[in-house]
């Protein structure tokens, strides 16, 4: 990871953890973004969604705002894990 960060910084980019939905494909992971990309501008616990569509192919439609914060997010993730346990065979 340190090498990946160093590589990104060497050419003026940043790393962000993002989820992507393309058609029926969903993925999540760390991706590299140039500083002028809207996702590169996120700070702290901000949330951002960038819609890249046929109409917004050159410049994505961006919705950005403050996130819930670490405590609320952690509780939400924990709650989701508990819900998923109901689907496991007992």
Q: Are 71 and 45 in contact (CB under 8 A)?
A: no
Strands 47-51 and 61-65: antiparallel
Q: What's the pLDDT tens digit per position in 41-75?
A: 888 888 999 888 999 888 889 999 998 888 888 89
pTM above 0.75, yes or no: no
Q: Are 40 and 58 in contact (CB under 8 A)?
A: no
The CATH topology of domain 2-85 is: Dihydrodipicolinate Reductase; domain 2 (3.30.360)
Per-residue confidence band for 79, with pLDDT thresholds at 50, 70 and 90: very high
pLDDT at 19 over 80: yes
Q: Are 49 and 63 in contact (CB under 8 A)?
A: yes
pLDDT at 3 over 90: yes
């Amino acid at each position: 990871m340190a090498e990946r960060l160093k590589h990104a910084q060497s050419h003026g980019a940043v790393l962000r953890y993002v989820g992507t939905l393309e058609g029926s494909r969903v993925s999540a992971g760390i991706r590299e973004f140039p500083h002028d990309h809207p996702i590169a501008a996120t700070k702290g616990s901000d949330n951002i969604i960038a819609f890249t569509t046929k109409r917004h192919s050159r410049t994505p439609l961006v919705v950005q705002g403050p996130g819930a914060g670490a405590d609320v997010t952690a509780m939400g993730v924990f709650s989701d894990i508990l819900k998923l346990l109901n689907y496991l065979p007992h």
